[in-house]
Amino acid sequence: MRELSLHILDVLQNGREAGATEVRLTIDEDHSADRLSVTVEDNGRGMNEEIMERVLDPFFTTRKTRHVGLGLPLFAAAAQRCNGNLKLESHPGQGTRVTATFQLSHIDRVPLGDITGTVLSFLMGDPPCDLVYVHRCDRQEFCLDTRTVRQELGDVPLSHPSVRGWLREYITQEEEQLTRPAGVTQRPDDKARR
């Protein structure tokens, strides 16, 4: 896949298909350690050890358990070719945690890509699933919790065009702030905001 955010969308969808009502996505970029980690935790049905051993095998796929297939093996391969790895933790009935690490500066590391598009595509899917998205970039952090957003919205669904539009602009804006070069910490229009 050409972007990390496409792998991320894939793993988020695994969570939904595992019956999760809440998924936590954490992206951690640490330039001093030259590490990038991506963690997806869901509260879905989880896997037993037997299935866990097999989901990283690309040739393990059955139509009955669609949540396994090529997705995780591809993500694992992407991490491994960048001096990283993919770790899988799961408990039946509790959920699954997937952690992929990468050498941030590795020449083969594909860019994060359109993470805003990934978050939105995930949120438009059925059945509804809450997302807690945390993106850390050295000492900066952006957090989006759809439970908070839904609380503000009441009966209005996240899929409403106005909400979708707001989400797209909001996430894009916060992502830009996060990846701004070091040293530029103050928002030029902080005053306008108040």
Partner 1 sequence: MPKLKSLEDLKKVREEATRDIQVRLDTGTKITVGMGTCGIAAGARETMHAILEELKERKIEAHVTTVGCIGMCAYEPLVDIEQAGSDRITYGRVRPDMIPGLIEEHLINGRVVEKWVVGRLPKG
Q: What residue ranges bind partner 1 (CB under 8 A)? A: 1, 6, 9-10, 13, 17, 63, 66-67, 69-71, 74, 114, 117-118, 120-121, 124-126, 148-149, 152-157, 159-166, 169-170, 173, 187-189, 192-193
Distance, in Å, from the CA atom of 22 to the CA atom of 1, rounded to the nearest integer, reads 25
Name the nearest CA neighbour of 5 among 41, 56, 31, 40: 40
Label the pairing between strands 22-30 and 35-42.
Answer: antiparallel
Name the nearest CA neighbour of 125 among 2, 27, 10, 7: 10
CB of 67 to partner 1, least distance (A): 7
CB of 68 to partner 1, least distance (A): 10
Distance, in Å, from the CA atom of 26 to the CA atom of 114, rounded to the nearest integer, reads 15
Q: Which is nearer to partner 1, 32 or 185 (CB)?
A: 185
CB of 40 to partner 1, least distance (A): 14
CB of 33 to partner 1, least distance (A): 29
